[in-house]
A = this chain, B = another copy of it.
Amino acid sequence: MVERRKPIKVNEAVTRVMRYAKQGSVKFVPIEESYGEFLADDLIADHPVPPFDRSPYDGFAIRSSDTVNASSQAPLSFKVVGEIGAGSVFNGTVGPMETVRIMTGAQIPEGCDAVIMFELVKELAGGEWIQLKRPLESGDNISFAGEDTEKGEVLVKKGTYINPGIVALLATFGYKQVPVSVKPKVGVIATGSELLDVDEDLQPGKIRNSNAYMVLSQIKRAGGEAIYFGQFSDDFETCFNQVKNALEQVDFLITTGGVSVGDYDYLPAIYEKLGANVLFNKVGMRPGSVTTISELDGQLLFGLSGNPSACYVGFELFTRPIIRTYLHSVHPTLKKAEATLGTDFPKPNPFDRFVRGYLSFETGKLVATPVGLDKSNVVSTLGRANALIVLPGGTKGYENGMQVSVLLLEDQEGDTLESFFSPNINDRRSRRNGE
């Protein structure tokens, strides 16, 4: 009577979902609006940097060969024959024992091959002459053309999150309009007759709907455009039509709740009536084992659990990489790192656990500590979590001080699928032990 489901491994589940990953289109936005978007094309240098030999300081441009004999005992005098503000150029060639006053960033004048800073010379005759007390070498205080970047160099790969440094690069190379990835439209429908809306007063047996607002925020953090379709009604036909209607308006659809084997869990029946292909409906993970993902003509439906943390984890493991791939990233998953476990988890669990944790940096080391009891219904600790602690399933528990993998929730860099799938220290340990 009750359906028995066979769990699959998390990596297998991610692999099945990622078969339906696709890339979105490209649009152009003004550079002022590019921060926080995802680059949709490689960023290429349209000129060398610096574009010409220039002065990195305010000072005097000079011929180094004229300075060989300069010393404190025998300072040499140079005639100031001109001055160059940043952005202007010196017309003509600087001759022997001549110098030109030059501002930071200005082009080195013809004939000169070194610059000396203002502070290191003495000006004479109201600035008509300067006195130099040390020899200069050719190239002293010159930023050479192309020493930073050569023309045509790929400086940032497409799919990268645009941070302020990348905005500086876009400006330097003339990207007035920036090619960015169009965000996928991700719909959210909440299910659960126990759910009150956020502005309703509490009633016996009911709780306020937190999953929907949480997932809408997770979509934004992942780089998607979040669209909320509201809560399901209790009537099957209405539910079915809500899902069908939402699917037409979005790239991906998320439902929260309704995927267990309980009597009020309509999603399996809705998938069936839609003719959707269920990729899996049970994953060997805690929380979130009932996560159910299906596809209809290539369009993904994410059936996330109704438990807040199961919902949270399901999104980050399965939906986030789909959104990031749509944004042209080749690092679609959460960034994975290794950390020292800051507590004991003595109870073994056959399923892989993803424990909400706080990753801290202690004297140069990563330390991961759970932010609270890892009950799947605990909501109050979710705000402090900045990482998921990965505890692979097996016959043994975990101890304080062990090395474990963590997935970084607030990182924008991500990881490749290959790196995400690579066995972590505990898997390797388990395999050595023949588990």
Contacts and interface: CB of A to CB of B under 8 A. Distances in A.
A215 B337 CA distance: 31
A262 B163 CA distance: 31
A106 B264 CA distance: 12
Contact of A361 (B153, B174, B220, B366): B366
Interface in A1-32: 1-2, 4, 31-32
Given A31-B198, A193-B85, A379 B208 contact: no
A308 B238 CA distance: 58
A36 interface: yes
A180 to B, nearest CB: 14
Interface stretch (A51-59, A293-301, A345-353): A51-59
Contacts of A412: 410
A396 interface: no
A307 B168 CA distance: 12
A176 B148 contact: no
A58 B208 contact: no
Interface string A26-43: 000001101110000001
Copies of the chain in the assembly = 2
A376 B88 contact: no
Contacts of A153: 380
A260 B104 CA distance: 9
Nearest to A413: B386
A272 B156 CA distance: 42
Counting from the closest, the 6 A-B pairs by CB-CB distance are A87-B194, A165-B382, A86-B194, A168-B214, A164-B217, A35-B217
A310 to B, nearest CB: 10
Interface string A408-420: 0111110000000
Contact of A221 (B49, B163, B403): B163
B217 A199 contact: no
14 contacts: A1-B123, A1-B127, A4-B119, A45-B380, A51-B202, A56-B375, A88-B193, A88-B194, A104-B260, A149-B379, A167-B213, A170-B198, A172-B207, A337-B361
Interface of A is mostly: loop
Interface of A: 1-2, 4, 31-32, 34-36, 43, 45, 47, 49-52, 56, 58, 83-89, 101, 103-107, 118-119, 123, 127, 143, 148-149, 153, 155-156, 160, 162-176, 192-195, 198-200, 202, 204-218, 220-221, 228, 260-264, 306-308, 312, 337-340, 356, 361, 363-366, 372-373, 375-386, 403, 409-413
A1 B58 CA distance: 14
Contact of A106 (B160, B172, B194, B384): B194
A306 B104 contact: yes
Contact of A143 (B107, B375, B409): B375
B176 A199 contact: yes
A413 B409 CA distance: 13
A413 B359 CA distance: 12
A94 to B, nearest CB: 15
A98 to B, nearest CB: 19
Contact of A384 (B52, B165, B366, B377): B165
Contacts of A84: 205
A86 B192 CA distance: 7
A175 B209 CA distance: 11
Contact of A306 (B105, B192, B339): B105
